Structure 1
């Protein structure tokens, strides 16, 4: 299992490859606490934590949990590379972080590690980020990282960054 640690910055993070063993903590990022997990697993219209994790893993080239060095047993977010277009050397990047960790440089550190991986492992020329028009924090974050708006697909804004 691959583990990456950030080198600089005021907050140090760990990216750890997500596997089915992480399904409950990964699922909790998107659907909340234990009671929500039990509610979701009994409802036939929703996936249980293992099914959800397997589904997301099937869509990603790389999927990592985000943890702090100070508390590496707690999953506070995730980040991923997905929709790899080998011909165009483009890959999408995305992630989520629990709100209590916003504004601390954690996602910037995670994306820095992931972008380095994308350049090294996939030799990407272009990174793509997508977010909803209404997600102003994500848009501001993407622009801060050097992504530029390219187009819209309905309520989704598509941003790109050249990987140099």
Structure 2
């Protein structure tokens, strides 16, 4: 299992390669308290934590949980590389972080580590980020990291960053 640690002045984080054994904590990132309600429903599209984690893992080249060095046992977010286009040397980057950890440099540190993986392992030329047009915080974050708006697809803004 690959584990990466950040350095620098910001909050120190650890990225751990995600696996099905992390299903409960990973699922909580996306569904939180809703997961208890979902357990009582009969929705055909419902995925339990293991199914959800397996599904997301199947879509990603790299998927990591984010923890702080101070508390390695709590998953506070995730970050991923997905939709690798080998021909164009492009890969999408994305992630999520619990709101109480926003604005602390955590996702910047995670993306810094993930971008290094993208460059080294996949020899990417371009990183792609997508966010909903209404997600102004994610848009501002991506632009701060050097991503530029390229186009829109319905309610999604597509941004790119050259990493050569």
TM range (shorter): over 0.9
The Cα shift of 1:37 comes to: 2.5
Q: In structure 2, the residue corresponding to 1:161 is in which secondary structure? A: strand
Q: Secondary structure at the match of 2:109?
A: helix
Please list, as runs of the form range in 1=range in 2, the aligned pairs for 1:140-159 lying within 5 A after superposition: 140-159=140-159
Provide the C-alpha distance between the structure 1 equivalents of 2:102 and 2:109, rounded to a whole number of angstroms. 12
Q: Distance in 2 between matches of 1:135 and 1:3?
A: 30
What are the ranges of 5 or more consecutive residues in structure 1 without an aligned counterpart?
none
Displacement after TM superposition at 1:9 (Å)? 2.3
Corresponding position of 2:87: 87
What is the TM-score with the length of structure 1 in the denominator? 0.96
| Whole-Å separation in 2 of the counterparts to 1:83 and 1:60 | 7
User: Deviation per CA, 1:34-93, whole angstroms, max 9, x where unpaired?
Assistant: xx3233234332100000000000000000000000000000000000000000000000
Counterpart secondary structure, 1:44:
coil
* Corresponding residue number in structure 2 for 1:162: 162
Give the alignment's Cα RMSD to 1 decimal: 0.9
Gaps of 5+ in 2: none
| Superposition map of 1:24-63 within 5 A | 24-33=24-33, 36-45=34-43, 46-63=46-63
Which residue of the partner structure matches residue 76 of structure 2? 76
For the residues of structure 2 that align with 1:42 and 1:52, how far apart are their CA atoms? 17
Cα pair 1:41 1:47 within 8 Å, conserved: no
